[in-house]
Amino acid sequence: MRFELTHRYAAPVDEVAAAYADPALYEQFVGLPKLGPPEVLEHTVEGPRVHLRIRYRFIGQLAPAVTAVVRPERLTWVEDATHDLDAHTVSWRMIPDHYADRLQASGTFRFIAAPDDASATIRETEGELKVRALLVGGAVERAIVAGLKEHLDAEVTVVERFLASRG
């Protein structure tokens, strides 16, 4: 399943892109929908490129059709992301801790200046998600993308607050 999501931030492009490359931001992602607090596993800076590996854990409710296929406590994964601060892009892939044979996801984030306000940023998310599960694969994909959208919607406020606290 291919998906596209768009979010708007009340902050300039350079600041928003840099915030997502800062491990301190992820400490603020507590209490967001569906996911437990992320754990930064790796942060490497090489010039304008930043490599981040972050472990996530799903804590939301799942439909019985989904729990028939996966155990909720095993829904953990590592987001392996490369941030290009010059290009304002992030390439990411999801590496499941469990169910790697059933779940694949990857994509990009692109940060651009809002066309109507150069002091605002638009994040365009494009991704592809594949769930291999007989009969319920499509439903699981739709549920994951809906949960991702809800989580990314909630991130906007946290990122704006994070940037404001940094002055």
* Residues in the chain where the model's pLDDT stays below 70: 65-66
Instruction: Write down the pLDDT at residue 77.
Output: 94
Do residues 5 and 152 touch, judged by C-beta distance below 8 A?
yes
Provide the pLDDT for residue 21: 98
**What is the tens place of the pLDDT at every residue in 76-122?**
999 999 999 999 999 999 999 998 898 899 999 999 999 999 899 99
CA gap 109, 50 in Å, rounded: 14
| Domain interval for residue 136 | 2-165
Q: Quick one: pLDDT at residue 121?
A: 98
Q: What is the pLDDT of residue 68?
A: 72
The domain spanning residue 24 has which CATH number?
Answer: 3.30.530.20
Contacts of 160 (CB under 8 A, 6+ apart): 9, 10, 11
Q: How many domains would you assign to the chain?
A: 1
Whether pTM exceeds 0.75: yes
What pLDDT is recorded for position 148?
A: 87
Supply the pLDDT for residue 65: 67
